[in-house]
Structure 1
Amino acid sequence: MYALVDCNNFYASCERVFNPNLRNKPIAILSNNDGCVISRSDEAKALGLPMGAPIFKWEGFCKANNINVLSSNYPLYGDMSSRVMTILEQFTPDVEVYSIDEAFVQFKGFENYDFDDYGIQMRQRILKWTGIPTCVGIAPTKALSKVANKIARKFPNETKGVYVIDSEEKRIKALKWIKLGAVWGIGRGLQKRLKARGCKTALDFVQLPDEWVRKTFSITEWRLKKDLEGIAKLELDELQTKRAIATTRSFEYTFSDIDNIKERISTFATSCAEKLRKQGSSCHIIYVILRSDRHKKNEKQHRTSKVVNLPYPTNSSLVISNYAVKSVVSIFKKGIKYKRAGVVVTGLVPTNNHQLHLFENEDPKHEPLMRAIDRLNAKYENYKIKLGNQDLKRTWKMRQERLSPRYTTNINDIIKVK
């Protein structure tokens, strides 16, 4: 059996844990730079605040309806997510973290367990230890556990937040109930093609002939179909080494000077290098991206990028930052107001096993230096050691005018009990 454990309105729930005054009140969480709504509480949804709403257009609506609007507090959300996932590992060792607020778990050797009771235990422990409400869907396959979770979320009073699909009757009933577009793995394009075939619900999809599904679509859609039939074809994903690593961000303001952009690119490149070292990889290729603000139609637009092939594989922050900064200088245009930039490293190879260059290789001093920097930054956090061309005060410059305290990750923001 599999379970899909999903945190309810996760970002809003994290804020409520430490600020009880927000309970039962509408909450909206904004994206980077306080741009648009990326998470809403049930109360905000009921008032009609749409997902993705640009806050500058909906500011009046939020004030009129007393919606609490907050900036994204990613350090808090990430820490609370880690706590929830750690608790799940107490129930089974087979846990796949699917996103920041949900995880699949697999129950091997749990044949004689009462899964309704076990799901309730999971919910209660997470709620008691973290304050985060969850819903649990349990079924013979991953795709069906997603369906079961949606039922638990839709009917909290009847299910107590836990729904188990453990019979053929429940499976058929669930597939009749869930619409095609709400099925995990069925996007807009696939949904459109299936509707042309007369499919409206998940049950219609699973009743299609296997041969037709494989011939018309691919092995992926066939596996999803079999999973919804109760035949497990989608296993837990194992942690794999990434083939490319990217760090892209919008600026807090538009920049038209090269100095600010060079600083941002250096910071993004350093972040990529740190991620490379963490997974034991080095890169052959650097891809630098620079974009103007596409929303400002009256401004000059410029969208550009540059690919750099390195003479040798590296994960040194010094080397990657140096090449990235030189690249952005070469593609920068005066008079353009830039809003977004990014660095992508690819062509990854294992650091301890790659082809050496006959004439050019990295300075051997870089490896112990990077190791020392990583160790100090891990010990003292907040990136105390940086390159000279980085801003020494902040790693990510974002507009966060409505930011709540980082209650669990910053000692200065810890709650004081009087």
Structure 2
Amino acid sequence: MIHRQRLIDRFISYITIDTESDPNSNTTPSTKKQWDLANKLVEELKAIGMTDVSIDENAYIMATLPSNVNHDVPVIGFISHFDTSPDFTGANINPQIVENYQGQDLVLNAQQDIVLSPDYFEDLLLYKGQTLITTDGTTLLGADDKAGITEIMSAMEYLIQHPEIKHGTIKVGFTPDEEIGRGAHKFDVEKFGAEWAYTMDGSQIGELEYENFNAAGAIVKVNGKIVHPGYAKGKMVNSMYHATEFINALPKQEVPEHTEGYEGFFHLYDIKGSVEVTTLEYIIRDHDLSKFEARKALMQNVVDDLNKKYGKSIFEIEIKDQYFNMKEKVEPVMHIVDIAEEAMKQLSITPLIKAIRGGTDGSQLSYMGLPCPNIFAGGHNFHGRYEYVPVESMIKATEVICKIAELTAKKNKF
């Protein structure tokens, strides 16, 4: 059995270290404070008995658990990231532990009237009778993805302490800056040396994912002309009004708040405006590659049409691809998904195989030559004050890692 209190203590020791990443930084890791946890993880990997423990100049951590069988077994890996999202503060996290949750509202912060309620977050009702770790309502929790790190570290410790569980060589990787889309950018796949890997970065217990969005970012710049408003007739060009015309030209229902499943979207996530210039920042997402390309083309066409209407110097657009659907790289090696699915079934976990409405390090790693499906880490409501994780889900995820290692060593053919 996984040691429950040790797992809880380990998780809390990680989340109470602030590791928020910074998209405006040019360094790797993007914030110096990520080194605080990175260095702790290196020492802990050594302490539990892992070999070949290393950390490079960019804070990428790797370690090895040697095989304990005398037959050839594919080298597999498990990967998580230690940064937290810049969407919400991760400083001074004060976790709260709720034993034997019974479906009630949870007052996270009475002073600020912040309540975690199953009336709004229905997934809470999945965890009646379990132990939840929540925030105090003023920070995120950091289960994304310190739950994943906790599970990988706990699984490696358990396998080392229980040599009767047979496994091949296992690689562990911990990365910075995943939350700002750079987690795999400097990951040395060749050094890692695994045939395939799993990111422990999903949410609800049972999640198993090998599809994700195709993703791009777009910046639309709208140029205006400022003159004295009292003498502006026929001269002023108000960029903010023109920007709204661009916004309204895109399909109004194809936004995150109106889409689910395999439905793609345009997401306007930032706007800065004045009469002289307005900048719109979008992300573009779709699982289907042809629809993804059509979305990018639509944005370009809207810009072209508006420039024909108002003059070619009014609208500018820059579109950059960010990552692609890992399905293309995983489907040829579907046995790696089958093993994870079988591991869950043997542990009485119902596999929830679905597409990620987002991206993970695994999507980029898959295109770098390391096929990498994603497995649940247990947390919910990531990137905000309502984030929580059931302890039992973390224990189950730890058991899944151990079971995948065991099943991989038993397979005869891949």
TM over 0.5: no
Q: Which has the larger radius of gyration?
A: 1
With the length of structure 2 as denominator, give the TM-score of the two structures. 0.23
Give the number of the structure with larger relative contact order, counting CA–CA contacts within 8 Å between residues 6 or more apart.
2
Q: Output the TM-score relative to the length of structure 1.
A: 0.22
